């Protein structure tokens, strides 16, 4: 069996044992990345059928500037934190694009309710930013670019996919989001 297969099997077994959270020291951070790609469904629902584009560079700059400022206050490397959030943003847009394609092809799947981006959806993302920054701080030591970190990242990611029953779109987005976790 290939190493990746063994790790997937191990992740599934550990998830069943833990049952609640993705496994290991990167479990919480991975959980937050999952939440962020799931909120992308609300973002897409807020924008689809309106003139609001998927890409909003001004909002991205606002998110990343905030991350740099607050990570410096926390004693995190600002550029590293910004790089992690850049991946979160790309993952979010990947889900939005996937849902747009799905909903264009199957209009009956378009959500009935259109949440308000500014007052309902972005505040959720802002709260996640705070939680993710705190978790980046808590996991600073484990997130060095080592094999140990890569193994923990794989285990947490695979267990999150099982635990949250992610479809292929959100699984791919999570993988994008976790790309640079071991800095
Ligand atoms: C989530 C949004 O869509 C995109 C993704 C962003 C993000 O992940 O933070 C920010 C701006 C947009 O480019 C949004 O418009 O708020």
Measured by CA distance, the residue closest to atom 10 of ligand 1 is 60
Share of the chain above pLDDT 90, in %: 87
Contacts of 170 (CB under 8 A, 6+ apart): 34, 37, 38, 95, 164
Closest ligand 1 atom to the C-alpha of 55? 13
Domain boundaries, the chain: 26-152+164-177
Q: Is 149 in the pocket of ligand 1 (CB under 6 A)?
A: no
Q: Please tell me the distance from the alpha carbon of residue 44 to that of residue 166, in angstroms, as a whole number.
A: 17
Q: Is 125 in the pocket of ligand 1 (CB under 6 A)?
A: yes
Give me the interface pTM, i.e. the ipTM. 0.99
Measured by CA distance, the residue closest to atom 2 of ligand 1 is 43
Q: Is 129 in the pocket of ligand 1 (CB under 6 A)?
A: no
Helix, strand and coil percent figures for the chain, each rounded to 5: 75, 0, 25
pLDDT at residue 17 in the model = 57
pLDDT by residue (tens digit) across 95-146?
999 999 999 999 999 999 999 999 999 999 999 999 999 999 999 999 999 9
pLDDT at residue 14 in the model = 64
pLDDT at residue 37 in the model = 98
| pLDDT band at 21; cut points 50, 70, 90 | confident
Instruction: Supply angle C-alpha 121, 97, 88, rounded to 5.
Output: 60
Q: Model pTM?
A: 0.91
Q: Among the CATH numbers 1.10.10.10, 1.20.59.10, 3.20.20.140, 3.90.45.10, which is that of 26-152+164-177?
A: 1.20.59.10
pLDDT by residue (tens digit) across 164-177?
999 999 999 999 99
């Amino acid at each position: 069996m290939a190493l990746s297969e063994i790790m997937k099997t191990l992740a599934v077994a550990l998830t069943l044992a833990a049952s609640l959270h993705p496994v290991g020291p990167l479990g919480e951070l991975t959980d937050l990345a999952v939440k962020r790609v799931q909120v992308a469904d609300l973002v897409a629902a807020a924008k689809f059928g309106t003139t609001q584009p998927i890409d909003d560079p001004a909002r991205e700059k606002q998110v990343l500037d905030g991350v740099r400022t607050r990570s410096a206050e926390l004693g995190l490397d600002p550029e590293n934190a910004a790089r992690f959030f850049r991946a979160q943003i790309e993952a979010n847009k990947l889900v939005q694009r996937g849902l747009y394609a799905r909903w264009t092809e199957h209009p009956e799947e378009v959500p009935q309710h259109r949440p308000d981006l500014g007052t309902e959806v972005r505040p959720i993302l802002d709260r996640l930013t705070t939680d993710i920054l705190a978790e980046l701080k808590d996991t600073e030591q484990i997130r060095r670019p080592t094999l140990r970190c890569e193994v923990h990242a794989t285990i947490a990611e695979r267990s999150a996919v099982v635990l949250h029953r992610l479809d292929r779109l959100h699984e791919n987005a999570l993988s994008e989001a976790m790309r640079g976790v071991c800095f």
